[in-house]
Amino acid sequence: MKRLIVNADDFGMTGGVNRGIIDCYRDGVVTSTTLMVNGEASAPAAALAAENPGLGVGLHLNLTTGRPVLPPRRVPSLLGRDGRFPGKGYMIARLSTGSISRAELDAEIGAQIAACRALGIKPTHIDSHHHLHAHPEVAAALLRVCPGEGIHRARGYRMKPRSPRAAGIRLAAVMPWPGRARGGAGMITPERFAGIEEMGSLDIAGKLASELEADGDSLEFMCHPGYTDETLRRLTSYSDLRETELAALLSQRLRDVIEDAGAELTGFSGLVR
């Protein structure tokens, strides 16, 4: 039986995102989420998690938007002149040219894990905003920091090689841990990952059906449900389509697809080597 993790990213970004994720857990197929500890609504998200203990909650490591958890003077190589993270493109360029201090990177990752725990969340796993941990420098940092923090599971990126939208994380092929949930050293990950191609799709059910037919005993399906408002539009360009995803994740058709495939809905805690 294939194990299916449906993980909702960006928990803690806004109140509307929080409500959408919880609705999709209570009435849909979401089994897991990842908390953005420096998000505007991280504390309310943690309170909702406490009210819904069956929902697995990991850390959505954020190194691209907003402010760091540590004081800016502690992590200057990660930030722009305004003391904020400078965006995905700039961060990838800095990581790729050796302009990031590894000590500062490790310290901020550790601080975000600590902030997650301070909110009452014991992280089930780790992934990242804008998939930054697909970069070898960040992946290596997770291997340095996470095991000592008791985090042994992460999002991996073994995908069908078909999506132009996934081109930005192709460097994940050189990630220093296996893209599978068993064997090898490093972080434990599901055997396959999907959700890039499906973002904002009107036919998530049909696309998930195709993904469930592919090889591998475990699959993480990433999603971004949420209710849109002006705050969300200000923070991200991916806003209105979150309601499209939400409707699909609450649909009976998606439940039928999962049942027809004989898949078992689970969370990251269920993954073993």
Helix axes 136-145, 88-96, angle to 10 degrees: 80
Give the integer Cα–Cα distance in Å for 70 and 174. 29
Hunting for tokens 């197929």 — which residue is that? 29
Range of the domain at 88: 3-270
Query: pLDDT tier at 171 (50, 70, 90 boundaries)?
Result: very low
* pLDDT at residue number 73: 97
Handedness of CA 136, 138, 139, 140 (dihedral sign): positive
What is residue 168's predicted lDDT score, i.e. its pLDDT? 47
- Quickly state the pLDDT bin for 197 (edges 50, 70, 90): confident
pLDDT beyond 60 at 158 = yes
Give the CATH number for residue 24: 3.20.20.370
Q: Is residue 162 scored above 70 in pLDDT?
A: no
Provide the domain count of the chain.
1
- Better-scored residue on pLDDT, 1 or 188: 188
